[in-house]
Amino acid sequence: MFPAEELRRLQAAVIGCRRCPRLVTYRHQVAQTKVRRYRDEAYWGKPLPGFGDPAATLLIVGLAPAAHGGNRTGRMFTGDRSGEFLFRVLHAAGFANQPDSSSRDDGLHLRECYITAAVRCAPPANKPTAEEFQACRPFLVREILLLERVRAVVALGRIGFDAFLTAWTEAGRELPARPPRFSHGAQVELPGGVTLLASYHPSQRNTQTGLLTAAMFSRIFRRARRLISRAAGRR
């Protein structure tokens, strides 16, 4: 079976997941109560699958959907401030056909890029439990195995960084002899020709305080583009 078909099967499995009772209850509650500014919208209220190009050379790993962002729109990073920051940079680097995303049917298409997360349901206070990370991890492991052309991974935040590395090893892949450590801009060469780049998460808290600026974020994705081009030249 082709990877695109396998990814569609995996996306359907994610959407139907009910493994974590706390997350099921919370995502339904948020979808019913809403917030005033979105009171006339129908919330998605289900787990969010990864999305993007099945032939992706870049994989982006985030934390979890936002309660009134992805949990509302049904697509990761769509309809929230983090997404506004992310998609502008992806568009500038040539990984997206437009610089913004407000809904699942807004015409956004990712090029050579796939976006996923460590946890697929919006968690209370944006803090999944260790058990919820573990329950969701098989989805990320499967994506790592299916996205065979990935040459660069951008992990958003320390949690995304650690979640990816754990899933990487559970997928049967090796780590470098020196344990990778998170810091913004860190670059880790993984066995098999994949480079992991670390970035602060584009959360509103980080971008409004200046911990993560647009210039800092852009440099991460320009570096990812160079790494992918270099890897293509070696083939």
Pairing of strands 58-62, 187-190: unpaired
Q: What pLDDT is stored for residue 225 in this prediction?
A: 97
SS3 26: helix
- CATH code of the domain occupying 3-233: 3.40.470.10
Query: Whose CA is closest to 132, among 122, 145, 119, 141?
Result: 119
Residue-wise pLDDT for 7-27, tens only, equals 999 999 999 999 999 999 999
Span between the terminal Cα atoms of the chain, in Å: 24
Query: Whose CA is closest to 52, among 119, 117, 135, 134?
Result: 117
Pairing of strands 152-156, 113-117: unpaired
Residue-wise pLDDT for 195-207, tens only, equals 999 999 999 999 9
Does residue 77 carry a pLDDT above 60?
A: yes
Q: What pLDDT is stored for residue 232 in this prediction?
A: 82
